[in-house]
Each structure stands twice: as structure tokens, then as C-alpha cells.
């Protein structure tokens, strides 16, 4: 039986944007007992979570996704407002949204088709592009007035020129991500 790896496809973020997002985490000022912030090196834009996958699927995944991304050229994305899942009133995940861009949705669609072609189940949630900043700890409370989400930030747009397949190692201190494959977009 092959070893299982916890995998996901994501857009990596440039260091300058990751630093800006860490500054937002600090400015929000929630107690570390209330929110577990995503470490700077782990900030990314998830395109498709795959979950536990046989390690032998890495090459077929890379090849299938690469074949479907040939017509998608590198593009820029803009990060916009703060938000929360499932709602601002009862946040479990605090995130920054990504401005809708047709190429991002084409990228998602291409990845979805590729992974389904390899036998993965369809995505269970509609694609909602965001960058997770932190997760509210169980039974923790964040300010209920959600004025924190009304703060305005200006982020530097960033270039999407590759898609990375990450392996996630879950540890008591938080996840550790490692790149196991990457696909460059055309024109990158």
C-alpha cells in the first residue's frame, strides 16, 4: 500500500505580500488564545484541496494539470477586503479576499477538470478565492461587532505565474507545507 500524502494545489504569494498580510494579522490584535494565525511562510491562495492522496499520484497530477493550463497566461491578482467564514458574526476563519479575475476562475476550472479526470471527487464547495489569515480557536470569541472587517488596507497586486502542489504535514505546532510539484503558466 502506498504512503498517503495530504495535498493541495495553491498559488504561492510573493514575500512582499506575505509581509503585508502578517502586518494585518498584527494590526487586528486578536489574542493568540483566540486566533491561531497562519505563519508567514504558509500564506497562500488555495485553488483545490485534495486531501490524503497516494504519493504515486504526484506525477500524474502535475502532468494532468500542466496539460490543462497550457492556454492560461500569467496574470495579476489584487487582494481586497477582510472577511470571515462562515460569517462575520460567527467567524471560524479570518481571511482576505481576492478580487475576481477571469483567469483565476479558468485556472480553478482547469485544475478541477484535471483532478476529476484522475478520479478525485468533485469539489464540495464553490470556489471562493481567499487567503486564510487565521483560524478562530474552539470556544474562543473574537469581537462581535466585527468592525475589524471594515478596516481598509492597500495591498500590492501580485503576479500569478505558477501553480504549486503542496504537501501538508500536520504537527502540534501547526502545518508545515512543502512543494512537491509546480506548473508554470505560459508567458511566465
Is there a catalytic annotation at residue 130?
A: yes
State whether residue 115 is helix, strand or coil: helix
Residue 51 has a CB neighbour count (10 Å cut-off) of 12
- Which phi and psi angles does 17 have, rounded to 5°? -70, -40
Residue 176: partners with Cβ closer than 8 Å, 6 or more residues away: 42, 168, 169
Choice among 44, 90, 101, 146 that is catalytic: 44
Please identify which of the residues 90, 101, 130, 146 carries the catalytic annotation: 130
Report CA Rg, the chain: 17
Burial of 186 (0-12, 13-18, 19+ CB in 10 A): exposed
Angle of helix 58-68 relative to helix 102-117, nearest 10 degrees, comes to: 140
Mind telling me the catalytic residues?
44, 130
Amino acid at each position: 500500500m502506498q504512503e498517503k500524502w495530504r495535498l493541495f494545489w495553491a498559488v504561492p504569494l510573493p514575500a512582499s505580500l506575505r509581509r503585508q498580510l502578517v502586518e494585518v494579522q498584527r494590526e487586528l490584535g486578536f489574542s493568540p488564545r483566540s486566533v491561531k494565525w497562519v505563519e508567514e511562510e504558509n500564506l497562500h491562495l488555495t485553488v483545490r484541496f485534495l486531501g490524503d492522496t497516494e504519493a504515486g499520484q504526484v506525477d500524474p497530477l502535475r502532468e494532468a494539470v500542466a496539460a490543462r493550463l497550457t492556454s492560461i497566461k500569467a496574470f495579476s491578482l489584487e487582494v481586497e477586503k477582510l472577511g470571515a467564514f462562515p460569517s462575520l458574526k460567527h467567524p471560524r476563519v479570518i481571511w482576505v479576499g481576492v478580487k475576481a479575475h477571469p483567469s483565476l476562475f479558468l485556472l480553478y476550472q482547469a485544475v478541477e477538470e484535471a483532478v476529476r479526470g484522475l478520479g478525485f471527487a468533485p469539489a464540495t464547495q464553490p470556489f471562493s478565492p481567499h487567503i486564510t489569515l487565521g483560524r478562530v480557536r474552539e470556544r474562543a470569541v473574537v469581537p462581535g461587532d466585527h468592525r475589524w472587517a471594515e478596516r481598509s488596507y492597500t495591498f500590492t497586486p501580485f503576479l500569478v505565474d505558477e501553480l504549486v502542489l503542496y504537501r501538508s504535514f500536520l504537527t502540534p505546532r501547526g502545518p508545515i507545507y512543502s512543494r512537491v510539484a509546480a506548473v508554470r503558466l505560459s508567458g511566465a
